[in-house]
Amino acid sequence: MTLSDALIIINKEIQSIEYPKNPAGLYSPIAYLLTLKGKKIRPALTLLACNLFCNEVKEAIPTALAWEIFHNFTLMHDDVMDKADLRRGQATVHKKWNENTAILSGDTMLILSYKYLAKSPSRCLEILLDLFSDTAAKICEGQQFDMEYEKRTMISEKEYIEMIRLKTAVMMGACLKSGAIVGGANESDQQNLYDFGIRLGIAFQIKDDWLDVYGDSNTFGKKTGGDILCNKKTFLLVTALETATGKDKEALLYWLNNNIQSDEKIEAVRQLYDKLSVKEKTQKALQNYHQQSINALQKVSADPAGKKILADIAGGLVEREF
Amino acid sequence: MTLSDALIIINKEIQSIEYPKNPAGLYSPIAYLLTLKGKKIRPALTLLACNLFCNEVKEAIPTALAWEIFHNFTLMHDDVMDKADLRRGQATVHKKWNENTAILSGDTMLILSYKYLAKSPSRCLEILLDLFSDTAAKICEGQQFDMEYEKRTMISEKEYIEMIRLKTAVMMGACLKSGAIVGGANESDQQNLYDFGIRLGIAFQIKDDWLDVYGDSNTFGKKTGGDILCNKKTFLLVTALETATGKDKEALLYWLNNNIQSDEKIEAVRQLYDKLSVKEKTQKALQNYHQQSINALQKVSADPAGKKILADIAGGLVEREF
């Protein structure tokens, strides 16, 4: 099974979800967000991980959908908390409807994700439930740290990596591990795939941070520099804060501590990044986590052709321009 | 097992929940809301229903806790949506902390409720999961209808009853049914207990509506008339709107359509209720649903002494003054 085979299955399944007709105000926002164009990489990882150990990936479809619905629930609520106007180039749910709708439809999506999870094979339901709930709680913890870090100036690289591990990476790890569980993998292979996902998830987020500063705004699909404007804690900012001394640090703190919303700020912070070699340091970290992810993947006892598909996905995510 | 036996177990279990130390900003609001003084009637219903069919109620404790945590999750989010300042006489979570905290800690509570549910006996985990998720989705639907009805003037009694069935009653039914399932009841007894809970839940909500108008503010613990001030759709208002004609209807609509926040409005609407015999009609409906609940309970094949405990709880809820 290739990535595009997996995506065809996932997209077809998502398109064919039947929602209750009433109340439409509760279910329409769910259908809206789930059918916006997105990468759908997480449920694909579940199917592909399952396929490493078993030809019958059909059994992993409910688990895969549970992750995709859960992921979109987090987007719906995070967008409320972050006051974001756009998601995948379209209006966020709380902008198109209102905040209460985004809260309540989000809650319903979280419940819906468990409904799908409950359709996983009985033989591994209990272990999947534990993995799913533990992962879900970690993702909330990551979002909490992210919000708390907004109010602090100094965040260490260690704190930052732990935050994105919780907020982004554990889900990729768990998507892969759950697919491996359904596919009948042994515990060691489950763990290796989990580790692959964690490292990949960290690299994925660092790349996300990188694209906001160095991406091509045409390919990226949105204006670059948004993270700089809102002082978002990114790998780049954290690295700059840890590296800068003297006048550079003063300048960086000036831009961070004054509420300036202008292209001038983006340009000034970019120049500081250049001076502090932030681009190179970020590229190095990215390559490091990418390499670690591949190392973990290599330890998995499965068909090399199947592992190559996962390795290619990892490469694609790290090299992506959007 | 008596109601107070059940409550002792529930309170002890809730007090001894161990939350992760970090991030405290995520978990403290959960502990705060769960330990505010509340009725804890829902998890008690689960234990008592289990006890009708089996002496070993210990097995039903995780399921009971799942319901209580889920119920408190709905309170945390509903309070955000309803912009409520007080809950059980104390500051609501979004007032004590902020809205983002109430959203994210609420999400974490919903996940936590599934963590407890997953500790239910394996032999009935799948059926409990389906019941739990279906009930949870219905409760969200009920909240959605409640919010939509705020924007409409005319709501029929039928629409109102269906809304409170979803928002309040299905959970009482499901608490009882899940206890019966863990206790090993047959399907007919599960259904009879579910029906008992549905009727009781509707009576419970009608009594809630009644207390806001006719309760003694000292015993009730809060100022009466709050529902009248904010035009909340209650059984009383819906009955008044369905009964009133001519000048009475005009007067009622005047108070509803003008944004007046005064004791004068409470007094005027109360007088209209008196004129339209709303008090008597509400009492009649309350007694009717109470009687239906008892009829369903009587059909359950279990020890009459155990059933009397549940009947007494129903009586207590319907007769309550707070």
Residue from the list B23, B140, B143 with its beta carbon closest to the beta carbon of A148:
B23
Write out chain B residues lying below 8 Å of A23, CB-based: 141, 144-145, 148
Do residues A253 and A240 lie in contact, with contact meaning Cβ atoms separated by under 8 Å? no
Q: How far is CA A1 from CA A16, A51, A125, B255, in A?
A: 21, 7, 24, 65
Q: What is the CA radius of gyration of chain B?
A: 20
Do residues A92 and A85 lie in contact, with contact meaning Cβ atoms separated by under 8 Å? yes
- The A residues from 165 to 204 touching B (CB cutoff 8 Å) are none
pLDDT of residue B223: 74
Q: Which residue from B295, B294, B62, B60 is spatially nearest to B180, judged by alpha carbons?
A: B60
Residue from the list A23, A122, A145 with its beta carbon closest to the beta carbon of B145:
A23
ω into B121 cis (within 30 of 0): no
A 10 A CB-CB count for B119 gives: 17
For residues A53 and A47, what is the distance between their CA atoms, to the nearest angstrom?
Answer: 10
Residue identified by tokens 């879900």 is: A136
pLDDT of residue A221: 61
- Single-letter amino acid code for the residue at A290: H
The SS3 of residue B11 is helix
Residue from the list A100, A107, A133 with its beta carbon closest to the beta carbon of B114:
A133
- B108 min Cα distance to partner chain A (Å): 6
Interface test with B, best of A75, A101, A144 (most B CBs within 10 A): A144
CB contact under 8 A, B129 and A114: yes
Write out chain A residues lying below 8 Å of B130, CB-based: 115, 118
- B115 min Cα distance to partner chain A (Å): 6
- For residue B296, what are its two tokens? 């369903």
- A7 min Cα distance to partner chain B (Å): 27
Do residues B42 and B68 lie in contact, with contact meaning Cβ atoms separated by under 8 Å? yes
With CA atoms as reference, the chain A residue closest to B25 would be A144
pLDDT means per 10 residues in chain A (322 residues)? Answer: 97 96 97 93 98 97 98 97 90 96 98 98 98 98 95 94 98 98 98 98 97 81 82 95 96 90 92 96 97 98 97 96 78
Whether B16 contacts chain A with CB within 8 A: no
Write out chain B residues lying below 8 Å of A141, CB-based: 20, 22-23, 26, 108
ipTM over 0.90: yes
pLDDT of residue A222: 67
With CA atoms as reference, the chain A residue closest to B113 would be A133
Please state whether A44 falls in left (phi above 0), alpha (psi between -120 and 50) or beta: alpha
CB contact under 8 A, A108 and B140: yes
Q: Any residues with CB less than 8 A from the CB of A115 and at least 6 apart, and which? A: B130, B133, B134, B137
Do residues A22 and A76 lie in contact, with contact meaning Cβ atoms separated by under 8 Å? no
Write out chain B residues lying below 8 Å of A100, CB-based: 80-81, 147
With CA atoms as reference, the chain B residue closest to A114 would be B133
The SS3 of residue B44 is helix
With CA atoms as reference, the chain A residue closest to B81 would be A100
Residue from the list A25, A111, A133 with its beta carbon closest to the beta carbon of B144:
A25
For residues B177 and B167, what is the distance between their CA atoms, to the nearest angstrom?
Answer: 17
A 10 A CB-CB count for B58 gives: 12
Buried b / exposed e over B72-83, threshold 16 CB at 10 Å, is: bbbbbbbbbbbe
Note the pLDDT tens digit of each residue in A247-293. 999 999 999 998 788 899 999 999 999 999 999 999 999 999 999 99
Q: Which residues of chain B have pLDDT under 50?
A: none
With CA atoms as reference, the chain A residue closest to B149 would be A23
Q: Any residues with CB less than 8 A from the CB of A297 and at least 6 apart, and which? A: A192, A193, A196, A307, A310, A311, A314
Write out chain A residues lying below 8 Å of B80, CB-based: 100, 103
For residues B208 and B284, what is the distance between their CA atoms, to the nearest angstrom?
Answer: 15
Do residues A161 and A202 lie in contact, with contact meaning Cβ atoms separated by under 8 Å? yes
CA max distance for chain B: 62
Q: Within chain A, where are the H helices?
A: 3-15, 24-35, 41-53, 61-81, 93-96, 99-117, 125-150, 157-164, 170-183, 187-214, 217-220, 226-229, 235-243, 246-257, 263-275, 278-298, 304-319
The SS3 of residue B86 is strand
Whether B115 contacts chain A with CB within 8 A: yes
Q: Which residue from B64, B87, B76, B89 is spatially nearest to B30, judged by alpha carbons?
A: B76
Write out chain B residues lying below 8 Å of A108, CB-based: 137, 140-141
Residue from the list A26, A143, A147 with its beta carbon closest to the beta carbon of B140:
A26
Q: How far is CA B148 from CA A24, A26, A237, B153, B297, in A?
A: 11, 10, 44, 11, 33
Note the pLDDT tens digit of each residue in B14-38. 999 999 999 999 999 999 999 998 8
For residues B243 and B273, what is the distance between their CA atoms, to the nearest angstrom?
Answer: 10
> What CA dihedral angle connects B94, B140, B89 and B37, to 10 degrees?
-110
Do residues A73 and A31 lie in contact, with contact meaning Cβ atoms separated by under 8 Å? no
Do residues A197 and A214 lie in contact, with contact meaning Cβ atoms separated by under 8 Å? no
Do residues A34 and A40 lie in contact, with contact meaning Cβ atoms separated by under 8 Å? no
Sign of CA dihedral B30, B32, B35, B37: negative
Whether A126 contacts chain B with CB within 8 A: yes
In chain A, the N- to C-terminal Cα span, in Å, equals: 25
CB contact under 8 A, B103 and A141: no
Write out chain A residues lying below 8 Å of B137, CB-based: 108, 111-112, 115
Strand partners, A87: A90
Buried b / exposed e over A232-265, threshold 16 CB at 10 Å, is: bbbbbbbbbbebbeeeeeebbeebbeeeeeeeeb
The SS3 of residue A282 is helix
CB contact under 8 A, B140 and A103: no
- The B residues from 22 to 81 touching A (CB cutoff 8 Å) are 22-23, 25-26, 77, 80-81
For residues A141 and B107, what is the distance between their CA atoms, to the nearest angstrom?
Answer: 11
- A212 min Cα distance to partner chain B (Å): 25
